[in-house]
Amino acid sequence: MKSRLNSGYEYREELGGKAAGMGILEYLTGRYPGASEDEWLARIASGRVLLNGIPAQCDAVLRQGQVLSWIRPPWEEPEAPLSFAILYRDAHLLGVAKPEGLPTLPGGGSYMEHTLLTLVRRRFPLASPLHRLGRATSGVVLFATDRNAFSIVSREWAQGQVLKIYRALASGSPVEDEFDVDVPIGPVPHPILKTVNAASPDGRPSHSHVRVLERRDGCTLVEVVIATGRPHQIRIHLAAAGHPLVGDPLYETGGVPAHDSRALPGDPGYHLHGALLGFRHPATGEWIEISCSLPPLLRASGAVNDRPCT
């Protein structure tokens, strides 16, 4: 793990109709809830907030179509394991093993260069991720290295034609050895981020198939096949089924954020691994499966109640 200053970043967006008529301070504090109004005043005063390329004033009223930029100076990113392993490579696709603790993509205001995307593009500049895994989730991440492959595999993904198998450590002991979870997933209130994805009757349709692999003392090793790919789907669905992932700081029984918790979706502690991806190759039509070695805690031992939950 390494920690050093990155190169900084320019957050840039063209304003839509919802921003029209809003004061710039009101918009920025809502758009970036991690910073206070006083912090934004200081950034505007230092000339790091621009409207159409010109330093903004703190009393500016926004208009639709304006380009709003915030030039963030270099910052020290949190430490992360800055490595990956190649699992599959050809002229069109790249499958890699993402370690636990490394974000797939920039986000959250903290990670920009300490990401899998940055590491992969240093070696494969044309690689584009076809999906993402949570920071604390390890396993297979698939990249396309040309536009046609990206388009074809993305379409297969959207149509549910990609096989996605995970391993997870769930709390408790499910009654059945196999079961389905079809709880819809959508945004619910959160004290810091305003909303996070969770079980919601107004959410999008979601489906997971769960199979018990090994029952342990107080927890259960499970395999999960997801037909959809909603954010945090496995964590939410197992919690909705009454078996939150062991160590999950956010989701509790019911598939919703724990009461009064200030945990964020990216916070670690749970045990989840993307074990296998299967799909039709975009160039040959051949069925391809890419698997990734399991962390020790997520390997079945062949015995019952002989392994700890953490």
Q: Last residue of some domain: 45, 72, 99?
A: 72
Inform me whether the pLDDT recorded for 307 exceeds 80.
no
Residues 169, 261 within the same domain: yes
Q: Are 179 and 287 in the same domain?
A: yes
- The CATH number given to whatever domain includes residue 68 is 3.10.290.10
- Say whether both 136 and 281 belong to one domain: yes
Q: Is the model more confident about 240 or about 306?
A: 240
pLDDT tops 80 at residue 34: no
Instruction: Tell me the three-class secondary structure of 158-194, residue by residue.
Output: HCCCCEEEEEEEEECCCCCCEEEECCCEEEEEECCCE
- At 305, the pLDDT band (50, 70, 90 cuts) reads very low
Specify whether 68 is located in the same domain as 89: no
Q: Is residue 155 part of a domain?
A: yes
pLDDT digits (tens, 9 = 90+) for 59-99: 999 999 999 999 988 888 888 899 999 999 999 999 999 99
Same domain, 19 and 113: no
Mean pLDDT of 41-46: 94
Q: Is residue 195 part of a domain?
A: yes
Number of independent structural domains in the chain: 2
Least confident piece of the model among 26-40, 47-61, 136-150, 234-248? 26-40
Do 270 and 134 lie in one domain? The reply is: yes
Burial class (CB in 10 A: 0-12, 13-18, 19+), 158: exposed
* pLDDT at position 74: 86
Main-chain phi, psi angles of 24, to 5 degrees: -65, -35
Looking at the structure, tell me whether residues 125 and 27 fall in a common domain. Answer: no
263: containing domain: 85-298
Q: The pTM is what?
A: 0.83
